[in-house]
Amino acid sequence: MKDHVVKLFRESCRVKEAFLNDNLVNLVNVIEVLTTALKAGNKILIFGNGGSAADAQHIAAEFVNRFIIERPPLPAIALTTDTSIITSIGNDYDFSEIFAKQIRALGQAGDVAWGISTSGNSPNVLKGLEAAKKMEMITFALTGKDGGPIAKMADFSLNVSSGSTARIQETHITVGHAICELVDIKLFQKPDLKS
């Protein structure tokens, strides 16, 4: 049993290190884009399915409440939380429309649509990002496996190249925390952050 636990932790560390090697420059770019959007008065709309829905809620909470430092709330909305909206869209239209309709209702040009999909193939995440692009929102995809069509269509994409949903999700929340911390620092502490 101990050996299996050690194996799981080592694999999680390996996937995170591989992600960082593949995505460091893109991650820094995403942090800059999010910081710029928030500084301009725009908001972040975050969405995904299952564990990615939970990640969307978690990250939105870090922005709206606080992350590490005391600071004003930042505008972020998880599109995964209103069961009445989600079920009415799913029932009256189609489950693939649950994020796109909310984006059309709540989004504006310059806002950020942040889609999360461990497979990179979730039809509702893809449709949500497509709707956001049509509205001149900034699209950001956090994906796994080979990134799928979602990674290809987003303005900015960070992909965890792993076949394990659990390892992808563990990396996704680490990425979310890194983004929250650096956005906070850039907006409110302004230290000398060189590359």
| CATH number of the domain residue 107 falls in | 3.40.50.10490
Q: Is residue 101 part of a domain?
A: yes
At residue 74, the pLDDT reads 98
Query: 125 pLDDT exceeds 60?
Result: yes
Q: Over the stretch 1-33, which tens digit does the pLDDT of each residue have?
A: 999 999 999 999 999 999 999 999 999 999 999
Q: Is residue 7 part of a domain?
A: yes
At residue 192, the pLDDT reads 60
Q: Is residue 194 part of a domain?
A: no
Q: Is residue 51 part of a domain?
A: yes
Q: Is residue 46 part of a domain?
A: yes
What average pLDDT does range 162-166 have in this prediction?
96
SS3 for 139?
Answer: strand
Q: Is residue 195 part of a domain?
A: no
At residue 191, the pLDDT reads 60
Count structural domains, the chain.
1
Q: Over the stretch 141-153, which tens digit does the pLDDT of each residue have?
A: 999 999 999 999 9
Q: Is residue 45 part of a domain?
A: yes
Token code pair at residue 90: 């799913």
Q: What's the rounded Cα separation, in Å, for the pair 32 and 69? A: 19
Q: What's the rounded Cα separation, in Å, for the pair 194 and 94? A: 46
Q: Is residue 143 part of a domain?
A: yes
What percent of the chain is modeled with pLDDT above 70? 97
Supply the range of the domain harboring residue 140.
2-189
Q: How confident is the model at residue 189 (pLDDT cuts 50, 70, 90)?
A: confident
List of E strands, the chain: 44-48, 76-78, 112-117, 138-144, 156-160
Q: Over the stretch 27-62, which tens digit does the pLDDT of each residue have?
A: 999 999 999 999 999 999 999 999 999 999 999 999
In the block, tokens 């829905």 appear at: 53
What average pLDDT does range 159-176 have in this prediction?
97
